[in-house]
Amino acid sequence: MPKLTTPISDADIRALKVGDTVLLNGIIVTGRDAAHKFMIESYIRNPVTEVNKELYDDLRQLLDGGVIYHCGPVVKQHEDGSYSFVAAGPTTSIREEVYQPEVIAHFNLKGVIGKGGMGPNTLKACADQPAVYFHAIGGAATLIAESVKEVITVHKLEFGVPEAMWVIRVVDFPVVVTMDSHGGSLHEKVLAESQERFESLLA
Protein backbone atom coordinates (compact mmCIF):
# COMPACT_ATOMS: atom_id res chain seq x y z
CA MET A 1 0.00 0.00 0.00
CA PRO A 2 1.59 3.32 -1.07
CA LYS A 3 2.31 6.03 1.46
CA LEU A 4 2.14 9.74 0.69
CA THR A 5 3.51 12.52 2.86
CA THR A 6 2.44 16.14 2.62
CA PRO A 7 3.35 18.27 0.79
CA ILE A 8 2.52 15.96 -2.11
CA SER A 9 3.99 16.43 -5.58
CA ASP A 10 2.04 16.67 -8.83
CA ALA A 11 3.77 13.51 -10.04
CA ASP A 12 2.60 11.50 -7.04
CA ILE A 13 -0.97 12.73 -7.55
CA ARG A 14 -0.92 11.91 -11.26
CA ALA A 15 0.23 8.39 -10.41
CA LEU A 16 -2.94 7.72 -8.42
CA LYS A 17 -6.03 6.12 -9.95
CA VAL A 18 -9.51 5.53 -8.61
CA GLY A 19 -9.57 2.50 -6.35
CA ASP A 20 -6.04 3.01 -5.01
CA THR A 21 -5.69 2.72 -1.25
CA VAL A 22 -3.22 5.17 0.29
CA LEU A 23 -1.75 5.81 3.72
CA LEU A 24 -1.46 9.55 4.30
CA ASN A 25 1.25 11.06 6.49
CA GLY A 26 2.20 14.56 7.51
CA ILE A 27 0.27 17.74 8.20
CA ILE A 28 -3.34 18.15 7.08
CA VAL A 29 -6.03 20.72 7.93
CA THR A 30 -9.69 20.09 8.75
CA GLY A 31 -12.30 22.34 7.19
CA ARG A 32 -16.06 22.18 6.75
CA ASP A 33 -18.75 24.66 5.64
CA ALA A 34 -17.73 27.63 7.78
CA ALA A 35 -14.03 27.26 6.94
CA HIS A 36 -14.62 27.01 3.20
CA LYS A 37 -17.00 29.96 3.21
CA PHE A 38 -14.44 31.97 5.19
CA MET A 39 -11.62 31.15 2.78
CA ILE A 40 -13.74 32.06 -0.24
CA GLU A 41 -14.98 35.35 1.18
CA SER A 42 -11.79 36.45 2.96
CA TYR A 43 -9.07 35.26 0.59
CA ILE A 44 -10.25 34.15 -2.81
CA ARG A 45 -13.06 36.40 -4.01
CA ASN A 46 -12.03 39.49 -2.06
CA PRO A 47 -8.74 41.22 -1.22
CA VAL A 48 -6.93 39.89 1.85
CA THR A 49 -7.23 42.37 4.73
CA GLU A 50 -4.53 43.08 7.27
CA VAL A 51 -6.73 41.47 9.95
CA ASN A 52 -6.74 38.13 8.12
CA LYS A 53 -3.29 38.25 6.54
CA GLU A 54 -1.40 36.28 9.19
CA LEU A 55 -3.80 33.35 8.96
CA TYR A 56 -3.78 33.61 5.17
CA ASP A 57 0.00 33.29 5.11
CA ASP A 58 -0.22 30.25 7.41
CA LEU A 59 -2.85 28.58 5.25
CA ARG A 60 -0.92 29.27 2.05
CA GLN A 61 1.98 27.34 3.52
CA LEU A 62 -0.08 24.54 5.09
CA LEU A 63 -2.26 23.88 2.05
CA ASP A 64 0.37 24.26 -0.68
CA GLY A 65 0.72 20.68 -1.82
CA GLY A 66 -1.44 19.75 1.14
CA VAL A 67 -4.71 18.12 2.05
CA ILE A 68 -7.92 19.44 3.56
CA TYR A 69 -10.17 17.07 5.52
CA HIS A 70 -13.95 17.48 5.68
CA CYS A 71 -14.22 16.56 9.33
CA GLY A 72 -16.00 17.78 12.44
CA PRO A 73 -13.89 16.15 15.15
CA VAL A 74 -14.67 15.39 18.74
CA VAL A 75 -11.82 17.04 20.63
CA LYS A 76 -10.49 16.79 24.19
CA GLN A 77 -8.63 19.67 25.79
CA HIS A 78 -6.04 18.69 28.38
CA GLU A 79 -4.98 20.50 31.55
CA ASP A 80 -1.89 21.93 29.84
CA GLY A 81 -4.07 23.49 27.15
CA SER A 82 -3.17 20.99 24.44
CA TYR A 83 -5.76 19.09 22.42
CA SER A 84 -6.25 15.56 21.16
CA PHE A 85 -8.80 14.03 18.82
CA VAL A 86 -11.26 11.57 20.35
CA ALA A 87 -13.13 10.98 17.10
CA ALA A 88 -12.30 12.17 13.60
CA GLY A 89 -14.78 10.73 11.14
CA PRO A 90 -15.40 12.30 7.72
CA THR A 91 -18.42 14.47 6.99
CA THR A 92 -20.40 14.59 3.77
CA SER A 93 -18.39 16.42 1.13
CA ILE A 94 -20.98 17.49 -1.41
CA ARG A 95 -21.86 20.55 0.70
CA GLU A 96 -18.48 21.99 -0.21
CA GLU A 97 -18.98 21.58 -3.97
CA VAL A 98 -19.81 25.28 -4.35
CA TYR A 99 -16.46 26.22 -2.77
CA GLN A 100 -14.04 23.37 -3.40
CA PRO A 101 -12.79 24.06 -6.95
CA GLU A 102 -11.74 27.60 -6.05
CA VAL A 103 -10.09 26.48 -2.81
CA ILE A 104 -8.19 23.72 -4.63
CA ALA A 105 -6.89 26.12 -7.27
CA HIS A 106 -6.08 29.05 -5.00
CA PHE A 107 -4.20 27.13 -2.35
CA ASN A 108 -2.64 24.47 -4.64
CA LEU A 109 -4.37 21.66 -2.76
CA LYS A 110 -3.41 18.14 -3.76
CA GLY A 111 -6.07 16.26 -1.86
CA VAL A 112 -9.51 16.52 -0.31
CA ILE A 113 -10.69 13.92 2.20
CA GLY A 114 -14.33 13.29 2.99
CA LYS A 115 -17.16 10.89 2.35
CA GLY A 116 -19.75 10.55 -0.37
CA GLY A 117 -17.75 12.12 -3.16
CA MET A 118 -18.14 15.48 -4.87
CA GLY A 119 -19.57 16.86 -8.10
CA PRO A 120 -18.36 17.60 -11.64
CA ASN A 121 -16.81 20.97 -10.80
CA THR A 122 -14.52 19.43 -8.20
CA LEU A 123 -13.71 16.54 -10.54
CA LYS A 124 -12.64 19.07 -13.18
CA ALA A 125 -10.56 20.95 -10.60
CA CYS A 126 -8.82 17.68 -9.72
CA ALA A 127 -7.85 17.23 -13.37
CA ASP A 128 -6.70 20.82 -13.78
CA GLN A 129 -4.70 21.13 -10.58
CA PRO A 130 -3.91 18.15 -10.29
CA ALA A 131 -5.57 16.83 -7.12
CA VAL A 132 -7.56 13.83 -5.93
CA TYR A 133 -10.53 13.14 -3.71
CA PHE A 134 -9.83 10.65 -0.94
CA HIS A 135 -12.70 8.73 0.61
CA ALA A 136 -12.34 8.10 4.34
CA ILE A 137 -14.25 5.33 6.05
CA GLY A 138 -17.56 6.52 7.44
CA GLY A 139 -18.47 5.12 10.85
CA ALA A 140 -14.82 4.67 11.85
CA ALA A 141 -14.34 8.00 13.63
CA THR A 142 -12.57 6.55 16.65
CA LEU A 143 -10.32 4.36 14.51
CA ILE A 144 -9.36 7.30 12.29
CA ALA A 145 -8.57 9.39 15.37
CA GLU A 146 -5.81 6.89 16.18
CA SER A 147 -4.04 8.12 13.02
CA VAL A 148 -4.03 11.68 14.40
CA LYS A 149 -0.81 11.74 16.38
CA GLU A 150 -0.71 15.45 17.18
CA VAL A 151 -2.97 18.48 17.17
CA ILE A 152 -0.53 21.22 16.22
CA THR A 153 -2.86 24.21 16.47
CA VAL A 154 -6.40 25.37 15.73
CA HIS A 155 -7.65 28.33 13.71
CA LYS A 156 -11.08 29.98 13.81
CA LEU A 157 -12.18 28.23 16.99
CA GLU A 158 -14.89 30.87 17.20
CA PHE A 159 -16.68 28.88 14.50
CA GLY A 160 -17.13 26.08 17.06
CA VAL A 161 -15.12 22.89 17.52
CA PRO A 162 -16.59 20.96 14.55
CA GLU A 163 -16.23 23.90 12.14
CA ALA A 164 -12.82 25.15 13.28
CA MET A 165 -9.70 24.56 11.20
CA TRP A 166 -7.62 22.01 13.09
CA VAL A 167 -4.01 21.57 11.99
CA ILE A 168 -3.08 17.97 12.69
CA ARG A 169 -0.24 15.54 12.07
CA VAL A 170 -1.34 12.13 10.86
CA VAL A 171 0.50 8.84 10.51
CA ASP A 172 -0.76 6.14 8.14
CA PHE A 173 -4.23 7.63 7.75
CA PRO A 174 -6.04 5.10 5.47
CA VAL A 175 -7.97 6.52 2.51
CA VAL A 176 -9.17 5.37 -0.90
CA VAL A 177 -8.90 7.43 -4.10
CA THR A 178 -12.43 7.75 -5.47
CA MET A 179 -11.88 10.77 -7.75
CA ASP A 180 -8.55 11.02 -9.55
CA SER A 181 -6.76 13.62 -11.67
CA HIS A 182 -7.56 11.79 -14.92
CA GLY A 183 -11.32 12.35 -14.81
CA GLY A 184 -12.03 9.06 -13.08
CA SER A 185 -14.76 8.97 -10.46
CA LEU A 186 -16.15 5.96 -8.67
CA HIS A 187 -19.05 8.15 -7.53
CA GLU A 188 -20.08 8.90 -11.11
CA LYS A 189 -19.81 5.21 -11.94
CA VAL A 190 -21.98 4.20 -8.98
CA LEU A 191 -24.53 6.90 -9.85
CA ALA A 192 -24.70 5.77 -13.48
CA GLU A 193 -25.05 2.12 -12.52
CA SER A 194 -27.74 2.97 -9.95
CA GLN A 195 -29.68 5.02 -12.52
CA GLU A 196 -29.44 2.18 -15.06
CA ARG A 197 -30.65 -0.31 -12.48
CA PHE A 198 -33.50 1.97 -11.45
CA GLU A 199 -34.62 2.44 -15.05
CA SER A 200 -34.51 -1.31 -15.65
CA LEU A 201 -36.77 -1.85 -12.64
CA LEU A 202 -39.28 0.63 -14.02
CA ALA A 203 -39.26 -0.91 -17.50
**Residues labelled catalytic:** 36
Q: Cβ of 110: how many Cβ atoms within 10 Å?
A: 27
Give helix 100-107 / helix 50-63 axis angle, nearest 10°.
Answer: 80
- 3-class secondary-structure state, position 66: coil
What does the alpha-carbon distance between residue 126 and residue 109 come to, in Å, rounded to a whole number?
9
Is the bond leading into 7 cis (omega within 30 degrees of zero)? yes
Torsion of CA 130, 37, 26, 24, to 10 degrees: -60
Which residues lie closer than 8 Å to 148 by C-beta, 6 or more apart?
Answer: 84, 85, 88, 168, 169, 170, 173
What is the rounded CA–CA span in Å between residue 78 and residue 151? 12
For residue 92, the 8-state DSSP code is B
Backbone angles phi, psi at 26, to 5 degrees: 110, -155
